[in-house]
Amino acid sequence: MAETNDTVTIMDIPFMNLTKKDFLYYHLFPRLNRQQKCFVVTANPEIVMRAREDKSYKEAIQSADYVVPDGAGILKAAKYKKTPLQERIPGYDLMLDLLKFADVQGLSCYFLGGKDYVNEKVILEVEKQFPGVKIAGHHHGYSDMDDAKIVEDVQKAEPDLVFVALGLPRQENWIAKHYHRFSKGLFIGIGGSFDVLAGEMKRAPQAWINLNLEWLYRLLKQPFRFKRILKVFEFMARVILKKDKS
């Protein structure tokens, strides 16, 4: 993704600067209607920091057609740089909006990632909540998953959307590595969204989300995320101290 007048660059990652509604209606929905392939990254500070430390991962992120800000830290960094982003675009919300569109349009979806039973529950939830969605296929995200078989499955199914929930950096690396082998499809990495959709993990209450405190809610519910949260503070420190070239 190249830097344009519609992007804000943070640590060499160009973020789309638009609302979720505009992103959907002026970019993603038209591409789906044209069956035009695209790669979407929903990036938070942890992803940006990982890209800073891992050159190949940065290249994977930069190869995406769109990078959108998923994380209050990204918005705070952009505001500090005096190049504010319009709003946060959470991966989970984006997934739901895409599923609603697929439901109405009768589009097909492939679901890759999550534990085996979580992946199965996701399919059941999609069939219940979005009956118009065609299930093109699905596969768990265990580390021993057969890449060649999954790629072949996706090639044969030719889904309109491919939701990849392998966590960072696996999901973006997987898409970037195999993207050229697919003729169509909107590919998007969505982290732990399958756990929420399957009912295995509760999302933060809306009041916490509105206050940009979803990260704190997750930390209180999942203390093991402490080290990951530290990356957010390191990210902000680097932005403030201007230790990275933008």
- In this prediction, residue 1 carries a pLDDT of 60
pLDDT at residue 240 in the model: 81
Of 171, 107, 162, give the one whose Cα is nearest residue 143.
Answer: 171
Distance of CA 100 to the CA centre of its chain: 17
In angstroms, rounded to a whole number, what is the distance separating the alpha carbons of residues 46 and 30?
30
Q: How far is CA 210 from the centre of its chain?
A: 20
* 8-39 per-position pLDDT tens digit: 999 999 999 999 999 999 999 999 999 999 99
pLDDT digits (tens, 9 = 90+) for 25-77: 999 999 999 999 999 999 999 999 999 999 999 999 999 999 999 988 999 99
What would the mean pLDDT of 90-117 be, rounded to a whole number? 97
**What are 187-213's pLDDT values in tens digits?**
999 998 999 999 987 776 777 677 666
For residue range 154-186, what is the model confidence (pLDDT) as tens digits? 999 999 999 999 999 999 999 999 999 999 999
Q: Residue 217's pLDDT is what? A: 62
Q: List Cα–Cα distances, 60 to 67, 153, 235, in angstroms.
A: 11, 22, 20
Q: Give pLDDT, residue 2.
A: 53
**The whole model's pTM is what?**
0.89
pLDDT of residue 226: 63
* pLDDT at residue number 110: 98
| CATH number of this structure's domain 7-202 | 3.40.50
Q: Is 243's pLDDT higher than 60?
A: no
- Please state, in angstroms and rounded to a whole number, the distance separating the CA atoms of residues 56 and 165: 19
CB 40 within 8 Å of CB 64: yes
**Residue 145 binned pLDDT confidence (cut-offs 50, 70, 90):** confident
Nearest C-alpha neighbor of 37 from the set 46, 49, 28: 28
pLDDT of the residue at 246: 46
Task: Return the number of other C-beta atoms located less than 10 Å from residue 74's C-beta.
Answer: 27
Q: Does residue 245 contact residue 10 with C-beta atoms inside 8 Å?
A: no
